[in-house]
Each structure stands twice: as C-alpha cells, then as structure tokens.
C-alpha cells in the first residue's frame, strides 16, 4: 500500500481560491471559452458553438491529484489528472454561446469544484486556427491536501496500480484517458510511459 508523503492529509483547504480575474470576466471578454485537458475534451457536458484543439502555456497535464473516492480510497489512494505548474498542455477549447454562459458556469462549478482541488483561472490559449483567446481553466491548487507534488514516474505508477474507488480502477482511468487523447491526435509521453507498464 502506497500512501501520500508527509504534509498530505484528507483535510480540505479554504475553497476561496479562484482567481480574482473571474470577477471581471464579463467586462473583459465577449465570449466564454473553456479549456479541457482531460475528460472535458471528450465529455464536456455543456453546449458549445465552436471547439478547437488549443495550446495552454504555463501548465501541463499531470497525474498530480490524490484520489480518495473515485479512483482510490484513503487507505490506498489513486491518482487523477490535474493541470500542474510549468510546461504546456495541448487540449480542447470550447466557445460557449452567450445565452448558455451562466448555465455552463454553474455546471462546471458543480462538476470540477466538489472538493476545491482546482483554482478557476482565465489564461490565454492558442487555438489551432491561429487565434489567441482567454479561456477558463481549472489549475491544480498547490495548497490543497490532495496535491500529489513531486512524485517520480515510478511513484505515480505505484499509485495508479493500487488505486480503485467508486468509479473503478485508476489503471482503467489512465488507459481510457490515453485512448481518447490518441483519438484526438494528442501525445502525452508521461501517460504513455505509465500505461505501458500497467500490464
């Protein structure tokens, strides 16, 4: 059984971690764009008027969130994806119709912010058609107790192998994520490395 290292527990941090820039969102941008890097890429769950492959700089897709419920337990945590600091991430950007803005924001808050693991932020993303837009992104909160910081690939692999929760095995989560990324033509060497060693 692999457990989180010192400094990690099950307590939740203060949920007031959203970037202040969201407060003035309506004044600074006409369209709501949402950036997805994991399941939002193939299962957004909201209406959109446009979607494009997009590049986010300054954060990368990583198995950096301890899962104590969906893909693990408190005794045997698994790992799920977050956007961790540094690098870049290729994902999917969705433009939301103006009349669906409030409904979409409410849906995303319920879906992504159950434990306040992520910080809502507006970040520039480069669309595949050459435009740059500000998109709503969900970044890993480094102050959160579920932040799995600084794990080696071997340590990540151990958590993925042991994790199983109410939504199934963590290993299946990684394989499914990688399959969908491949379908979209997006490469993720770190996930490839782990998936290749699960069997």
Of residues 76 and 24, more confidence is placed in 76
Q: How far apart are CA 2 and CA 158, in angstroms?
A: 7
Give the pair of three-digit tokens for residue 47: 């209406």
CA torsion through residues 9, 35, 57, 24, sign:
negative
| pTM (2 d.p.) | 0.83
In the chain, % of residues over pLDDT 70 = 86
**Which pLDDT value is given to residue 90?**
97
**Which pLDDT value is given to residue 6?**
42
**Which pLDDT value is given to residue 114?**
81
Nearest residue to 64 via CA among 31, 46, 43, 89 = 89
Rounded to the nearest integer, the mean pLDDT of the chain is 88
**Which pLDDT value is given to residue 95?**
97
Q: Is the confidence at residue 128, as pLDDT, over 50?
A: yes
Annotated catalytic residues are 112
At residue 8 the predicted structure's pLDDT band, cuts being 50, 70 and 90, is very low
**Which pLDDT value is given to residue 115?**
85
Architecture label for domain 20-195: Roll (3.10)
The DSSP bridge pattern shows strands 32-36 and 50-67 to be unpaired
Average pLDDT over residues 1-20: 44
């Amino acid at each position: 059984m692999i457990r989180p290292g010192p400094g990690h527990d099950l307590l939740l941090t203060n949920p007031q971690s959203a970037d202040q820039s969201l407060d003035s969102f309506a004044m600074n941008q006409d369209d709501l764009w949402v950036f997805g890097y994991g399941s939002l890429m193939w299962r957004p769950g909201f209406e959109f008027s446009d979607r494009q492959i997009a590049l986010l700089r300054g954060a990368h897709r990583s198995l950096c969130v301890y899962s104590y419920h969906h893909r693990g337990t408190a005794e045997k945590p698994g790992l799920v994806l977050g956007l961790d600091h540094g690098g870049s991430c290729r994902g999917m950007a969705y433009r939301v119709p103006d009349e669906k803005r409030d409904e979409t924001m409410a849906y995303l808050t319920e879906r992504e912010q159950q434990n306040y693991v992520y910080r809502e932020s507006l970040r520039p993303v480069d669309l595949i058609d050459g435009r740059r837009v500000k998109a709503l992104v969900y970044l890993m909160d480094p102050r959160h107790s579920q932040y799995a910081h600084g794990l080696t690939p071997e340590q990540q692999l151990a958590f993925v192998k042991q994790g199983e929760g109410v939504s199934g095995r963590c290993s299946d989560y990684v394989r499914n994520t990688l399959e969908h990324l491949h379908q979209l033509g997006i490469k993720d060497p770190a996930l490839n490395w782990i998936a290749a060693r699960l069997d």
